[in-house]
A and B are shown apart, each in its own frame.
Chain A
Amino acid sequence: MVAEQINMLLNGDFAVAWAWKHVEPDVVAAFPITPQTLIVEKFSEFVANGEVRTEFITVESEHSAISAVVGAVAAGARAATATAANGLQLMHEILSIASSMRAPVMMAIVNRAVSGPINIHCDYTDVMGQRDMGWIIMFTEDAQEAYDTSIQAFKIAEHPDVLLPIMVCLDGFLVSHTAMNVRVFKDGGVVKEFVGENRVVPKIKVMGKEVEFSLSPKNPVPLTFGPFAYYDYYFEFKRQQIESMGKVPNIVERVNNEYAEISGRKYGNGRVVPWNVEDADIVCVVMGSSAGTMRYVAERYYNEKGVKIGILRVRLFRPFPWEDIQNILHGKQLVAVFDRAQDQGAMGGPLFMETLAALYFAKDKPNIVLNYVYGLGGRDLPPDLIKKTFDELVRIRDGKEKPFIKKYLGVRE
């Protein structure tokens, strides 16, 4: 049954803070960095006003933020943090430790270009540098989805078959600082019921005894977290993580469906959100807020020129939903992948490379797959540029122009 909700004028950052308020994690540790700052400022207000019982640790760096939440989760608590760009890079070392320790940390990432030159605006290079650290990575399109996904994230990460940390990404400024009417649960209790009032720490068997998978001194056998593992065991640690990562796609879909029951909102199958792709022979693959702008242009493009262009938004980036990509894009004439991340020295951007690899194994490969790198450092992707790009795609599809591997959009060449 859909629970009662109210409209609140929230930007993406405040939407994350409200999700945290409703989940009420035991521990939040964070360090300010633009454009993430509004999350921690708003959450600090909730703490200062006694609206949450969360222990809020105002750490001296992002490295300590992630270190503290890993410690908190190991102690059996539910914990969250948030960062962006350079802050995420500073956390890099601890990201692989968090996933190896099977710590279901929730981290909001407000995507921002990495230095240098220093920049505060949106691109995804910050997260792309962390994509193989064993975290689940989800991209959202607007403040509403940032709120919804921040709630779902706890349930996905803490699922006993998963136990992996999760990043919920929202576009710096484009989403983080742009206000919209967000449907928010009137009663935070609904959210707590959805994710569980408290984190359920799994039980494991050690030396014949059942123990809580935590640092609890009450365990009959005290546990050692973060040991030293040589070549004789390290690989098995990683193999187990990979096994759990493989279970994420189904759990994301299930949580997406369960969330739809209480909220009335659903994001595709949870992993990808297709729009008009079924009868389009040109499909654009994209993540984040650009998907909205593209749908806006594609709708007008159809009305004006009668050409259907489908938009496939990837919501779950890690684990990458390659089966969805294959099922949805097989048989298409042209697939254009839009990357808002650097592709230094690679054949294309990260989303392109993943999509291309998936399509290689599709039963009926698209004729043409190409890549646009756009929006670095917050460079705008205005509707008229998208329209020109659509024109180009149509010309390529019709054989009037030669296809290419990649192009850079909106940059001075």
Chain B
Amino acid sequence: MNMSETWRPTPISLAKAPDLLMPGHRLCAGCAAPVIVKLALKAVPDPKNVVVVNATGCLEVATTIYPYTSWAVPWIHNAFENAAATASGIEAAFRALKNKGIWKDKLPTIIVFGGDGGTYDIGIQSLSGAVERGHNFVYILYDNEAYMNTGIQRCSSTPKYASTTTSPAGKVIPGKLEWKKPIGFIIAAHHNAYVATVNPYYWRDFVLKVRRAIEYEGPAFIHAISVCPRGWRHESGMTMRISKLATDTCLHPLWEFDPETREYKITDRSLYIAKNPDKKVPIEEYLKLQGRFRHLFKPTRRDDLINEIQQRVDKEWNYLLRMAGMK
């Protein structure tokens, strides 16, 4: 991929870039989703030429309660499972209007925001179809690891042993029993999309990847970890601390996939950890801060389950290191 690497975002330049998600929305205190949206939209080269598509979810309902809207960009919500299909229609429409000379500018940047339920589960067909067809759009997954909008139900993104309202930690079953689905690798396996993982704590890596995704001529998929105090059961002030730990434990490592060279590249903090393995934080540090994993520690400490999670994190991290040619 031949990317212009001339953009040098700084905290000041990003602060000066317009906020395209306006204040007054009704997302929970400590929700990472608006941070992700604001950061992503600050990476748009022309903020006056962007269209946003939103799948049904927390972000959609909390930002557009009629007659109000928080969106300072053209925005559309169609349904839960069809954000990528809706984006393909919009992209095709602007191409058609440009061919006819009705739309005279550059084609707008089309950004989709979808939660994990709308992406991993109900929307994966629509997403896979739109990626396969090669539409030029950026799909940003804000992954809070359960159906939070309906009240914290498990989905295929929910991590193993997390307690949710449909996978509650009970006397016999210790929360969800299945591992998280590797969505980034699934989209990368289409072999025509730029794919990257991001973490809003590592903001610089975040915005650079979104910019790369926008510049890539074709489908792009950004997987952002999105901490949810309500569903993860922690104080709202701990969002960024937990977000940081998701990457520092290598649970949500930062990487990108170049569809042209088919190369995986580990980036930013994760690259540092790859070079300095002693900086890798044990997963327990991440788990113990969250009420959804409380049953792993109380009333009796379940070392067997904590170790099982640690081994899985190590296994996935080693897999990524091999994919990136670092092992």
Contacts and interface: CB of A to CB of B under 8 A. Distances in A.
A97 B317 CA distance: 43
A27 B90 CA distance: 9
B89 interface: yes
Contacts of B77: 225-228
A67 B79 contact: yes
Given A59-B129, A67-B79, A228-B66, A75 B90 contact: yes
Between B53, B74, B105, the greatest number of chain A beta carbons within 10 A of the residue's beta carbon is seen for: B74
Nearest to B80: A93
Given A60-B125, A74-B76, A225-B77, A217 B50 contact: yes
A54 interface: yes
B74 A72 contact: no
Interface string A229-246: 110010000000000000
Chain A's interface size range is 35 or more
B102 A70 contact: no
B126 A219 contact: no
Interface in B185-234: none
B85 interface: yes
Nearest to B82: A67
Interface in A338-376: none
Interface residues of B, number: 48
Interface stretch (B28-36, B93-101, B245-253): B93-101
Nearest to A29: B89
B65 A75 contact: no
- Secondary structure at the B interface, as helix, strand, loop or mixed, is mixed
Interface in B58-97: 60-61, 64-67, 69, 71-79, 81-82, 84-90, 92-97
A53 B99 contact: yes
Contacts of A227: 64-66, 69, 77
Given A60-B132, A224-B69, A226-B76, A198 B100 contact: yes
A323 B102 CA distance: 42
B320 to A, nearest CB: 29
Given A75-B90, A233-B67, A63 B76 contact: no
B166 interface: no
Contacts of A69: 89
A27 B91 CA distance: 10
A55 B95 contact: yes
B49 interface: yes
A38 interface: no
A120 interface: no
Contacts of B180: none
Contact of A61 (B50, B66, B97, B125): B125
B110 to A, nearest CB: 9
B181 interface: no
Contacts of A226: 64, 76-78
B161 to A, nearest CB: 33
Contact of A228 (B61, B78, B79): B61
A328 B72 CA distance: 54
B86 A68 contact: yes
Between A27, A53, A224, A225, the greatest number of chain B beta carbons within 10 A of the residue's beta carbon is seen for: A224
Contacts of B128: 60
A374 B87 CA distance: 42
A72 B86 CA distance: 8
A67 B75 CA distance: 15
A131 to B, nearest CB: 20
A106 interface: no
Contacts of B88: 29, 57, 59, 64, 68, 71
Given A222-B74, A226-B76, A227-B64, A70 B81 contact: no
B48 interface: yes
Given A26-B97, A27-B89, A94 B76 contact: no
B100 A71 contact: no
B321 interface: no
Contacts of B95: 55
A27 B71 CA distance: 26
Interface in A66-92: 67-77, 79
A170 to B, nearest CB: 24
Contact of B100 (A53, A68, A93, A214): A53
B52 to A, nearest CB: 9
Contacts of B117: none
Contacts of A223: 74-75
A71 B76 contact: yes
Interface in B13-72: 48-51, 53, 60-61, 64-67, 69, 71-72
A215 interface: yes
Contact of A217 (B66, B73, B85): B73
B73 A63 contact: no
Contacts of A5: none
21 contacts: A27-B96, A57-B89, A59-B85, A60-B125, A60-B126, A71-B88, A72-B93, A74-B76, A79-B93, A93-B79, A198-B102, A217-B105, A222-B72, A222-B75, A223-B74, A224-B64, A224-B71, A227-B65, A228-B64, A228-B65, A228-B77
